[in-house]
Structure 1
Amino acid sequence: MKILILGQSDDLHAAHIYEALSQCGATVNYLDTRLFPTQIKMLWQPDIEVGYLTLPGDICLNLQEIKSVFWRSLGEVYVPDLQDPYQQKLAWVDTMSLLRSLIQLCPARWINSWQSYQFHKEKPRQLTLAKQLGIPIPLTLIGNDSQKISELARTRKKFIFKPVYGGAITELVTPAHLERERLDQVLRISPVTIQEYIPGTNIRTYVIGDAVYSAEIRSPFLDFREDTEAQIIPLETPLSVAQQSKAIARGFMMEWTAIDWRLKPTGEYIFLEANPSPMFIHFENQTGYPITQKIIHLLTQF
C-alpha cells in the first residue's frame, strides 16, 4: 500500500502520521513540494493518462499506484534564481501548472482534496455556504468600504476584526480602528472581515469520516490560539451539532476537518470556520479521542 504525505518531514503532524502509517505496514513517502523541480521529477502523458513521480533517493512512483494522500501542507515550489525576471516568472508558472495538474489528476484518495483547499481560501464563500446549510453564523461584513464598515461596527457594543483569508490573530474593534482616515488608509491596502463578538464558550469539533468529537477550549484570551495554557475539556456533541458538523464537512468537500464554534449562553452553536488541515496532536493528547486512528483508517481503507 503506497501512501504519500503532502508536507515536510520536519512538520510534527506530518511526521506523526508518517510514523502511524509505517506501523500499519504502509509504504509512506513525503511529497515536499519545496524540492520541486530541483530534486523532484514529475511527468504526465495526457494521451494515455499516465503520470510518474520521482522523489529524492530515486523513488519512482506511478500515480496509479498511490492509494491515498494525506494533505498536511502545500509548500512553495523552489525555482532557482534567474537573471531574467521574465524567465523566472515563466519557470515558476510552468512549475506550478504541472504541480497543480498532477495533484488533481492523481487518482488517489486525498485527505483532503485540492477542491477543499481552494474553497478554504475563500472564507466569504465558506460562511455563505454554512448559512445556506441552515447553520447559524455571526453578523459579518467583509470588504473595504469604510463607510459601510463604520456604520455596521456602531450597531453593536463589540465587534472583532480579522483577515479575509485568515492567519492573523483576532482582535476587538476599538474606536481608534474606526477613525475615518486610518480606516480608509487600511482598506486601500486590503479588505477586512468584521464580525459581531459572540459571548460564550469556544468549542472545537473534529469530524473524521463518520466520527464526531467535540471539546470546550477554555481560555480568557479573545483568540485562544494565543493561550498556551488553554484547557481542553471533552464535551458530548449534541445530535443536532453532530449533524450540522457532518453537513459542513460534506458541503466543504472535506473528509476530515476541525470546526470552530462559539457556544452562546443560550445553548446555540454559532459557526466560525472549518479547517481542512487542522493540528490535532495536542487536542488528542488532552482528550483521549482516537483522532490519529480515525485518520489512518481513512487513509488505509478502500
Structure 2
Amino acid sequence: MHVALLGNEQDPQIQHIAMALEQQSTPYFFANTQLFGTDWTISYDPDFDDGLIHFKKPTLCNQPRVTFSNTKAAYWHEYLPGALKRTPNDEPSTSMEDFGWAEQERASTLLCWFSYSDIKWVNSINAVRSHQCKPYQSRIAGKLGAHIPYSFVGNAPEVASQFCNNMREVVYKPVRGGRTAQFVNKQPNMRPLLNTLLNERPVTFQKYIAGVNVRSYVLGDDVLSIQIDSDELDYRNDDNASVAVTIIPKAVQQLAVEICKALGMHWCAIDWRKSLKGNFFFLEANPSPFFLKVEKDTGLDITGRLVALLTQARH
C-alpha cells in the first residue's frame, strides 16, 4: 500500500516526508499536478470504482502503476495548475480559451482520484476548499465556541464604511487569502475610497486584536503550539520573527481538535490571536501548512506525528 505525496517532488517539505516514509519502509509516490498528463496519467473505470495511476518516470514511484485502491493515504501539500505551453518564439501554443477548457478537463479527471473515499486524504479536497473561504471556517469555529474577531465580508460600500467607522483599528485581508494582512488607513471620509476598492473586488475587514500570534499544529488528537513574536502586523512579512514553544489552555487545545475535525481535516495549523486579556481569537485553519522551519527552530516532532497519520489505519 502506497502513500501519495501531492505536490512538486523537488519541494523540501515533500522530500522530507518522503525520506521519513522511506525510513519506515513505507512505499510512496509523487504526484505533481502540474505535470499530470506528461509525467503521470490516470485511467479510471466507474463500473469497478477503481483506477490506475501510471508513471512515466521511475523517479516518481517504485512501480510503473498503482491502483487507487492500493493507495493507503495521500498527503496534500500543494495543487499546481497546468502550465500554458509555448512555442520557441515564446508564443502560446494554444488559445487561452482552449487552454482553459483543457485545464477544466484535467481538473475533472483528477477529481475522480481526489474524491476516491477509500484513500485517507491528509487532507481532502473539501478541506482544502474550505480554506479558500475563510469566512466559512470562521462560521464553523464560532459555532464550536471559538472567539471570532468582528468582521465584514463583501463588497457593499455603505456597510463597509459603517464597519470601519465603528472600529478603532481595522485590518484588511483577502477573502480567499494569498496575500498578507494590512491595516486600513482610516480617513474622515472613506466612502469614495471604499467605492473604488469594492467595485474591483470583495474584501474582508476585521477588528484589530491587540496581542500575540499563536499557531497550533493539530495532528489527530495532538496539539503542538508555538508563539510567534513579530513587530509586523503579519509575521509573514517579518524575516526577524521568532518562534518558541508555548502551552495553551486545555480548553483551547480541545477546541482546536474539534475545529480540525469539523472542517474534515486530519491535521492543520490553526492561527490564533491571543488578546491582552488572554482570549484566543480564531483566524484560520490551514490544511497544508509549512512546518520544517518550525521543527528546526523548536525541536517539535511534527514529522513523526504526520507520518503516523499517513500510515495508521483510518478510524
> Partner residue of 1:250?
261
Amino acid of the structure 2 residue aligned with 1:52: L
5 Å matches for 1:46-65?
A: 46-57=46-57, 59-65=64-70
Q: For each residue in 1:273-296, what CA deviation from the matched residue of structure 2 results, as whole angstroms up to 9, or x when unmatched?
A: 110001111111222111000001
* Contact map agreement 2:160 2:194 (CA 8 A) in 1: no
- Cα 1:89–1:167 change in 2 (3 A) is closer
Supply the distance in 1 between the matched residues of 2:301 and 2:99 (Cα, whole angstroms): 46
Residue 123 (structure 2) aligned to one of 100, 112, 136? 112
| Structure 1 residue 234 displacement after superposition | 1.0
The answer for unaligned runs of 5 or more in structure 1 is none
Supply the distance in 1 between the matched residues of 2:284 and 2:48 (Cα, whole angstroms): 41
* Contact map agreement 1:177 1:183 (CA 8 A) in 2: no
| Structure 1 residue 240 displacement after superposition | 0.6
Q: Does 1:180 align with 2:185?
A: no
> Partner residue of 1:190?
201
Secondary structure at 1:221 match in 2: coil
| Structure 1 residue 83 displacement after superposition | 4.2
| Structure 1 residue 102 displacement after superposition | 1.6
> Partner residue of 1:7?
7
Q: Mean Cα displacement is larger for which, 103-112 or 147-156?
A: 103-112
* Contact map agreement 2:126 2:264 (CA 8 A) in 1: yes
5 Å matches for 1:10-89?
A: 10-57=10-57, 59-78=64-83, 80=85, 83=94, 86-89=97-100
> Partner residue of 2:89?
none
Q: Mean Cα displacement is larger for which, 51-60 or 39-48?
A: 51-60
User: TM-score scaled to structure 1, two decimals?
Assistant: 0.95
Tell me how many residue pairs correspond in the alignment.
302
Supply the distance in 2 between the matched residues of 1:219 and 1:56 (Cα, whole angstroms): 46
| Structure 1 residue 84 displacement after superposition | 5.3
- Cα 1:23–1:87 change in 2 (3 A) is same
Secondary structure at 1:160 match in 2: strand
* Contact map agreement 1:36 1:78 (CA 8 A) in 2: no
* Contact map agreement 1:205 1:213 (CA 8 A) in 2: yes
CA root-mean-square deviation: 1.7
- Cα 1:27–1:46 change in 2 (3 A) is same
Supply the distance in 2 between the matched residues of 1:243 and 1:92 (Cα, whole angstroms): 41
* Percent of paired sites with the same residue: 32
| Structure 1 residue 90 displacement after superposition | 3.1
| Structure 1 residue 175 displacement after superposition | 2.4
> Partner residue of 1:213?
224
Q: For each residue in 1:90-149, what CA deviation from the matched residue of structure 2 results, as whole angstroms up to 9, or x when unmatched?
A: 322222111112211262211111111111111111111111111110000001111111
Amino acid of the structure 2 residue aligned with 1:157: R
* Contact map agreement 2:34 2:80 (CA 8 A) in 1: yes
Secondary structure at 1:70 match in 2: strand
Secondary structure at 1:94 match in 2: helix
Supply the distance in 1 between the matched residues of 2:119 and 2:76 (Cα, whole angstroms): 12
Secondary structure at 1:154 match in 2: helix
| Structure 1 residue 16 displacement after superposition | 1.0
User: TM-score scaled to structure 2, two decimals?
Assistant: 0.91
Q: Mean Cα displacement is larger for which, 290-299 or 181-190?
A: 181-190
The answer for unaligned runs of 5 or more in structure 2 is 59-63, 86-91
Q: For each residue in 1:26-59, what CA deviation from the matched residue of structure 2 results, as whole angstroms up to 9, or x when unmatched?
A: 1121100111123321111111112001123262
Residue 159 (structure 1) aligned to one of 162, 166, 170? 170
Amino acid of the structure 2 residue aligned with 1:275: N
Amino acid of the structure 2 residue aligned with 1:219: S
